[in-house]
Structure formats: structure tokens, C-alpha cells
Structure 1
Amino acid sequence: MYDYIVVGAGSAGCVLAARLSEDADVRVLLVEAGPADDAREIHVPAAFSQLFQTKYDWSYLSACEPGLDGRRRFLPRGRMLGGSSSMNAMIYIRGNRRDYDAWAAAGAERWGWDDVLPYFLRAEDFQGRTSPWHGTGGPLTVSEGRSRHPLMAAYVAAAQEAGHPFTADFNGPEQDGVGYYHLTQRDGLRCSTAVGYLRPALPRPNLEVLTGARCTRVLFDGDRATGVELDRAGEPVQLRAEREVVLSAGAYNSPQLLMLSGIGVADELAAHGITARVDLPVGENLQDHPHVGLSYLTDTPSLLTAQTPENVRLLETEGRGPLTSNVGEAGAFHRTRADLDAPDIQVHATPVMFHEEGISPAFDHAFMFGAVLLTPTSRGKVSLRSAIPSAAPHILHNYLTTEDDRATMVRALRLLLDIADRPSLRKHRRADFKVPASATDADLLAFARRELQTLYHPAGTCPIGPVVDHELRVHGVRGLRVVDASVMPTLVRGNTNAPTVMIAEKAADLLRDVPAPA
């Protein structure tokens, strides 16, 4: 018997388990389907794509995407302690204050910018200059990157030549501009939530962590969640939670678990032989940040040859060198229309070839920079493929299925082509690798349909309002909450890892019924 069972030891689950177990009088169980975060590639920043399609990855595929001419997209998600914070590019972005104020205005009570900022600050241990925009002393180390590749300096310079201002801090008062990203790194290595939150909490006798255990459903007594059923090495195990069950399995797996437990669209559940406990629009409202990159071959040495004995020594002994690169070292936030009140695209730039969705290894020196739609209007859906818990969910993102998204991506690519033609980048271009046939709308859109991939930011499938209340409690039942990116009503303008950590920090206070930090 436990007080709390947290399902999913990812970006949110590690935070929640660590915070809840600070109270010595409660017993916390953290359940993870994957293994421990013990692979070297997890902690070497530049090696994260080597984890794709391994035992550390859920390795999902989208359905045939109608907006991409029927193509399917690779959807990697972390399956280990730390979840996707153990497999991401470590970019620390909170988003824009307008994002959170829009949540509050739409009914997400106490989720406005002034409500959430204290949780961002509490989580953070910023290694840079003292700033009112950053916190210190928190579990999550945030630092400037220790690898500043010459190709990234060329990109930053070219963007400035195109008229875009330099910004030293995308988490400062304004996002707009070009610069270098802050990273969740500690001494040049990855600082996942497993490293920053869970590892220091493991000695506590009231915290238990169970790896290799896949949750198959939530258990109920009437309308109250009382525990979970797990599959561990092929054997079913039932465990009880005296206070609450918390799903922190992510925007694909949390809705799947709710549906397997009888919470979802009643007619769709019935088609799989599942009786609906509560009829809720679980799995709908799926959002993601779609990314389309321009790639150029170069004679400038890239990260392709970074893994030398000397660079390994630099990483292991001094925590510096090219292997500390998060790959997406630099980027920008832009407005593609003059009438916008906030950026509508984000740029990620890499000093290495990122080929075939990161699955195929680089084979030549290259650099890439790509545009991300920050506020996409396309909406997808996660649904059950089968009532068998081990079956992957059916995931349809509906990328580029609205005219607004298509028009924004066309404008974004035209903006990037302008930057690519500036002197600072042109001198590094040996040949085109992946670029549009021309700058016409038709060719830009055709290129986007062919090359678009996820930026790994699924969200919104159990949103505040339709599925959970403002304290993240699932409507219609007791003792069950969802705490991860799936509760976001809409995507934030930026990478979603820092906001997911914030959500878990706030949820810990909601569960403990303690006031928000000042």
C-alpha cells in the first residue's frame, strides 16, 4: 500500500515523486515501463539521437498524415528514468507569458504567467549571470552551452545580417531575436529530471522506484481510483494507492491509459469492448510543434567527427568540448507577419547533418537550421488501436492540415532562405543538401510536406478544462490526476520540457495542498 502512485518516471514523474517524498510521512511509488538511465549515450549531450529506436525509446510512428501526402512520421519518446528529458536536446525555454495568460483567460484558473513563474524559478539552478528572470538553488541545472561551433556563430551572424536582433536570453523579457539556447546541463553533461530531481531523492526510505513495469490500467472502487495494474515481466501485479494515482506518462501514453481504464469517448471505447466509466474527450486536441529544416553541405568540419579520443577526454575530465554540444546550439524566435503580438516561429540550428528524422547517421559535413510553427492550428488525436495495453496507440497529428499552418510555414521557409543567402552563411555552403526547388509558394509548401518532422513536443491530449480541472483532477472520478504535457490547453511558444517540469512542480503543491511559492 502506498499513499501516491506516480505512473511514468519522465520529465514530470521524477519531479513529482521527488517533491511528494519530501514529506517523510507519505509513501510514494514511481513506476516506469523502461529501464534505468544507465546508457552512456543518455548523458553525453551530443549523442542523444543514438538513443532513437533502442530500448530507451517508445519508437512510435504517426498514422498516415493527410497534410504530408500520406507520409508517416517517426515519433521518438523517452522510455527510461527521466523519460524524454533523458533523450531531448536539453533546450530550456519557458515559453511566452502570453501563452499562460491565454490559458487562464480560457478558464485554466491560476495558470496565468504570474501564477507559474514562481515554479519555473523554484525548479531552476541557473549557472549564468544573476538575473531576476532566473532562479538559483533548484534541482534543475540550467547553463549556457559549452560548445559554440563556428557554424553556429555563422548562422547567428547571418540572421543579424538579415535584420534580426541578437538576444542574449530567450527566457528574458522578450523572446524575439537570434542567439544561443540555455541548456539543462550540469558540468557539460545532461541534467535530466532523473539526474536533478530523482537521484537525490532515491535514498529516502519512503520512495520506491519500479522500472521495467508497464501500467496497463487504473484500478477503481466505484468512482475512486484505488491503484494500478502493472505488467512486470509478463506477470500482472496490482498495487494500491491510499490517496491518489497520478498519470505522468506523457501526451501519448497518459490518454491511452485513461482510455484503457474506461475514461474516454464512450462510443470509441465501446468499439474496443471497454465500458465507459466517464465519457470525456480524452486523446483529442493533440498538438505538436512541426519542424522543417534547410540543410547544406559544407567544407567546415562539423560535429560529424567530434567523437575523437581527445574530445572524449575533454568531456570526461573537464566537462567541455564538442561532445557537450546539444546539437541544436543556436536558434531564434521570429514573427513572420508585422501584425503579430508575439513570435509565431522558432528556429533550431545544428552544426551537423540531421538526416532522415535523426534515424540515419550523418555521412558528410553539413549544417541545418529549421523553422518550427509555435502556435499551430492543426489538431490531431490519440486513440486506441487495441484494448491490448501493449499495443501502441493510434497517433494522428494532422500536420499542415489548416491553411493558416501552411501559410505560416511558407513564410517561415522564405525567411530562412533569406538568412541562408547572407554572407556569413554563404561562405560555408559547399552545396545544397535539402532545400526547396525554388522560393515559390508551391515549391516551399511541397518541400514542407516532404521534409516536415516532429520537434518532439506532443501536448494537449488531456487538457485543463475538457478532461482535467485546474488542479489536474480527472473529471468524474476521485483520486486520479494527470500531470504532464498532456494537460496543456494549447502549446507554449518554445520547447516543452521546462513547462512540463513547471507543471509537475505546481502539481506537487496542489497534491500537498500547500500555497504557491512567493
Structure 2
Amino acid sequence: MAVIESTALFLSVALLILQNYVNHRAIETSDHELKHVYDFIVVGSGSAGSIVASRLAENAHINVLLLEAGGPVGGNTDIPGAYFSFFNGPMDWNFTHEEQFVGKAFVNRRIPEKIGLGIGGSSSHNTLIYNRGNRRDFDIWSQEFGAHGWSYDEVMPYFLRWENQTDPHLANNGFHSTTGPIQVTSWAKPNPIILLHQKAVNELGFKNVDINGGEQFGTTIAQAFIGTNGVRSSASNGFIDPNPYPHNLHILPNSFVTRVLFEGKTAVGVEFVRYGKLQTMFAKREVILSCGAVGSPHTLMVSGIGPKDQLKKFGIPVVADLPVGEHYQNHPGLTYNFLINPKYKYVVGENSAITVRNLNEFFANHRGPLAAHHRTITYLFTKNNQQGPHHPNSNFETGLYLFPQNLTELPFRYDRQHEWDAYHSQFMGKDYLLIHAILYRPRSMGYVRLVSNNPFVYPTINGKFLTHPLDMEDMIETLKYAFFVFERSSLAKYMTQTAPIPGCQYCPKGFIYECDSYIRCLIDQYCDSGFHSSGTCRMGSVDRKDVVVDPRLRVKGIDGLRVCDASIMPLITNGNTNAPTLMIGEKCAQMIKDDNHV
């Protein structure tokens, strides 16, 4: 009887997943409906591109084509608790950085860079954290870079335009909206260990705050991009999937744009490959690139817009000599796992393992442990941060997870893989708290550059993580404090000792947070990316030589071409980049409407 019940449950889940997949596949416009000329062509369906395309198509007289290199999302992308399953898969571009100063443990010292490939882009499989960044981030954009119209007070309406805040404790505090298409929720019933974590942090002097409200410094159980129905709230789910305007918004997944087409200094269309066939579409009004901080500069450069020396090196005719690909920024971080002492198993609560039973509970009822994926965030400021608590420069996130039973399910690979397998074996099948210590206002800047004129050859990415000496100091200080919380606060008794990571040794005496050699070795071996690429098509005043787009996101010296995504950030925000990228999409769409009188 048990076997029959298990088989029936498995088949039920399989059918639910298949139906969900079929529903998402319906987003693709059929060939017979396509036009050869559109008013606007949007390239990239991520956090910004989905919004731009949908907002423009609100006008029934405007025809919009949205092109996406990846495919439709699958049923698993709707599952908040399936976050880790998206690494190194078909919905990830699977980029890596050039050999880095840190992160030596990764294969060839190349730190992975996770960027979404598919409908919804990274919003379809990020960590779901809603974090706008600090108000001073946007004021700096306006005041120091000449990005007029982008101060905090000026961008706030565009944050509110997409937000649907469902937490009644936050909805009416003056910093949130309840009318947008993207729902944001708070964790209704946090696991006991998470509450114990927050209690410990409170005891250390950190008060509970709404990090998207008036004050960022403090601690919170993060608001998440999850709907009240338990489904991920992505840009695609909120704006284009299902397609709200099928008559005049045409959506083509699996369409890789190889270059933008120009007549003189005017963008007139795009060339793309879809199912192995090279095609061309034209835009009467504008082409909008929303391919992200790697894809947008890459597309510009292979199309002839970029540093002229690079373009000439690869035989690409120069359309405009601009610093495309420079000023790359990201948030360096370091992930560390703390095992929960098994004698305190009762503080763990439900685990989020991807089991048939949990999947059935999610797809059938939109409930259960897979309908949640929340982390805590505690903001810090280091001694090098002159702005102090008013503009924090680092934090640490904490999340509760169940380690997989199979090491092949882990997202990253390492040079000495056998040593890392031995290290990770101590966690297999056990509950643990993950901490991710993150430097949120880094000084180090890298680049994205061509290695070929072939658009299908990935560009090179160099984050130059922690190459600025003050960044290294700040990372050490942040990591030490995170370890202090886990080793000396009231949370410590629930943790259990683990072996050191491969290549590093604990000090003979004392706590880890007191062991400088281990902390430095951790960073040297294991520093990773926050997956928040930005800055490669910098926005600012047109008289600045370091700027690619003006404050209306128009490419300098080019007509009919804009960039609308995280690449336009003059400096990276001090938080997760999904929320500000959604804001960029809303503001970009409004500027396009205004400039084109539509």
C-alpha cells in the first residue's frame, strides 16, 4: 500500500510540474504573428527588460518585440526553496571571472559568476531578497556623477510603482506600496533557530529595522520576492508571464542577439539567431538593451560601440568610442557553514529538502517549506567607513538549509575537489546555518572585455575582487564579526565545531574570530561573488569621459539606442541589486514613453 501511495504521489507531482512547464511555454509568440518592423525592440527579459517591454505595450497602438537569449522558465523556477538547484544549469550563463587575487580554491582561481539566462533573467532564480540599497547610493549617483533625476527622492516613485508590499506591519509606514504587480512578503513563521539568531543579534545591540525604510543599519529577517500564493515573484511573473498584451507585445525566447544594426549613428534594428536561423528585425523608434552588466556591454562592443582600441583589435568597425565594459563592480563575499548541534534538532523546524512530498505540497497547495526562502540581514560598518551607520558598507546574511546527501548536488567545483569533498562530507544530510559575509561598498573595480568578434564567444570578466587594500581590511573585519556572533553570542551553544576548510588551519588556541591567519586564509581561498554585476555602461553627465549613457539612459552620440539594466549604475548600491534594477526598468520605461510621446 505504501508503495502504491508513493507512486501515486510521484505521478501527481510529475503531472503538476508538467502542467506548470506547459503554462510557461505558452509565452512564446507564434511565427505567423511576428512583424518585421516594431516600434521598440527590447533585448533581454530580465528584471529591467521585462518591465520596459510590458510598460511600453500598455499602449495598444505601440508594437513591442522582446527578445530573450534563454528559454521559457520551468516549473522549478516558481519554487522559492529550489534556489540552489539553478547553479550551473541551463538557466545560468555559467560565467567565470579571470584568475583572481582571491578565491584560489575555485578551478583555475576563476570565481563563478551566476547570471540568469531565460525569461525573467536573474529575477527568476536569485536569492529572492528585497533590498533597495541606501538612499545615499542614489544621491551619490545624482550629485557626484551628474545623473540628474536619479536622487533617492526622484527614484522612490519607481520603486513604489512595481512593489506590492503584503506585510501589514510595513505596508503603511510611508516607504512601501501595495499596488504594484510584484508581491513582497515577510516570513510568517520563521524557524526557531532563526528567531534565536535574531535574539542573539539584538542582544549585541542591533535593533530590528525595515532595511527598505528610513534606516538601514540594524538587523532584519529579509523581505522576500515571494507572493502570498507561495510562488516566486519575479519580473517575468509580475509583468510578462503570462503575456498581458499578446496583440502588441511579441515575446521570443531562445533568440540570441548577435549585434545591433545601425544606419550611421542611429540604431535601426537587431540581428539575432533563433533555433539556428539568423534573423533581422527593425525598430522604428528605439532599441533597448537590457542584457545585464555582462551581456549589454558585450552586445554593444560586438556591434561597434566600445573602446576603439579593443574594437580595432578584433576588426570591428567603430560606431562610437565609449568606455563600455569599464567600471565593473560586484559585491565580494564569503560563504561559511555552521552545523547545528544535533541535540538541538528541535530548534530547526521544517526542512526545505526537495522531496516528492514537499513538491506536492508546493504545487498542489502553494504551501510547505519550499514556499519559503528567507534570510536574515545584519548591516555593519567598518572602521574605514567614514559615513558610519548612516551608510553601512558591509553585512552578513544568515540562512537555514539542509545539506544535500549527494555531493554532486553542490553548486561549485574546486581545484582540489577530493579535499573539498572530504570537507563537505561532514555536512551531508545535516541542518546548518549558512552565513554570507558581504562587502557592500567595495572600492575595487574591474572590467568586461572582448576576447573575440564572435558574439557567441563569452567576454572576459574580471571583478578584481579585494584588490583595493581597504576592501581587504573591510572584508576581514566583517568576517571576524560574523564569526564572533556565531562563537560568542547566545547563538553559540546551538552550533557545533567543524573541520577547517582545505588549505587552511585553525589557530592552536582561541576562537576562529580571533585567528587572523585562518580568517585571511579563508578569504584567500574561498572569497566569492555576490552575483551582483553592475556598472559596465556607466550613467552620468554627458561631459564625463567615463560615461556610456546619459541620465535618460541614451547611449552617448547614438540615436535610438538605450541601455536599461544594472550596467548603468554609476556605483553599485549597498544591497542586493534586483530591487534597484526593477526600479531602473520602471524609470527607463517612463522616460522612453515621455521622449517618444506615447
Deviations along 1:301-328, one digit per CA (max 9) or x if unpaired, are 58766334443344234433221232x5
The aligned counterpart of 1:123 is: 162
Matched residue SS, 1:183? coil
Distance 1:456 1:213 in 2: 24
Distance 1:155 1:364 in 2: 22
Which of 465, 477, 481 lines up with 1:411 in the alignment?
Answer: 477
Matched residue SS, 2:239? helix
The question of whether the paired residues in 2 share the 8 Å contact of 1:145 and 1:324 is answered with no
Residue 277 (structure 1) shift: 1.2
Residue 293 (structure 1) shift: 2.5
The aligned counterpart of 2:226 is: 185
Q: Which moved more, 1:146-155 or 1:472-481?
A: 146-155
Distance 2:410 2:293 in 1: 20
RMSD over aligned Cα atoms:
2.1
Q: Which moved more, 1:287-296 or 1:465-474?
A: 287-296
Q: Does 1:331 align with 2:389?
A: no
**How do 1:304-343 and structure 2 match up within 5 A?**
306-326=353-373, 328-337=374-383, 339=386, 340=388, 341-343=390-392
Give the TM-score taking structure 2 as reference length: 0.82
Matched residue SS, 1:103? helix
Q: Does 1:12 align with 2:48?
A: yes
The aligned counterpart of 2:77 is: 42
The aligned counterpart of 1:254 is: 296
Which of 374, 378, 382 lines up with 2:440 in the alignment?
Answer: 374
Q: Does 1:432 align with 2:498?
A: yes
The question of whether the paired residues in 1 share the 8 Å contact of 2:102 and 2:527 is answered with no
Residue 202 (structure 1) shift: 3.6
Deviations along 1:171-196, one digit per CA (max 9) or x if unpaired, are 11101111201111111110111100
Residue 433 (structure 1) shift: 5.2
Q: Does 1:459 align with 2:534?
A: yes
Matched residue SS, 2:398? strand
Give the TM-score taking structure 1 as reference length: 0.94
Q: 1:344 to 1:241 in 2, by over 3 A?
A: same
**How do 1:188-337 and structure 2 match up within 5 A?**
188-199=230-241, 201-298=243-340, 299=342, 300=345, 301=348, 306-326=353-373, 328-337=374-383
Residue 104 (structure 1) shift: 0.4
The question of whether the paired residues in 2 share the 8 Å contact of 1:91 and 1:183 is answered with yes
Q: Which moved more, 1:104-113 or 1:439-448?
A: 439-448
Residue 14 (structure 1) shift: 0.5
Which of 401, 411, 416 lines up with 1:358 in the alignment?
Answer: 411
Q: Which moved more, 1:448-457 or 1:399-408?
A: 448-457
**How do 1:67-82 and structure 2 match up within 5 A?**
67-69=102-104, 71-82=109-120
- Could you list the runs of 5+ residues in structure 2 that have no partner in the other structure? 1-36, 414-423, 507-511, 541-546
The question of whether the paired residues in 1 share the 8 Å contact of 2:58 and 2:245 is answered with no
The question of whether the paired residues in 1 share the 8 Å contact of 2:103 and 2:528 is answered with no
- Could you list the runs of 5+ residues in structure 1 that have no partner in the other structure? none
Distance 2:563 2:500 in 1: 40
Which of 139, 147, 154 lines up with 1:108 in the alignment?
Answer: 147
Distance 1:252 1:303 in 2: 38
Q: 1:211 to 1:416 in 2, by over 3 A?
A: same
Residue 407 (structure 1) shift: 0.5
Question: Which amino acid in 2 is paired with 1:324?
Answer: A
Aligned length: 512
Question: Which amino acid in 2 is paired with 1:227?
Answer: G
Structure in which a larger fraction of residues adopt helix: 2
Distance 1:318 1:173 in 2: 36
Distance 1:359 1:273 in 2: 36
The aligned counterpart of 1:470 is: 551
The question of whether the paired residues in 1 share the 8 Å contact of 2:395 and 2:478 is answered with no
Q: 1:305 to 1:196 in 2, by over 3 A?
A: closer
Question: Which amino acid in 2 is paired with 1:482?
Answer: V
The aligned counterpart of 1:383 is: 449
Q: Does 1:87 align with 2:87?
A: no
The question of whether the paired residues in 2 share the 8 Å contact of 1:146 and 1:320 is answered with no
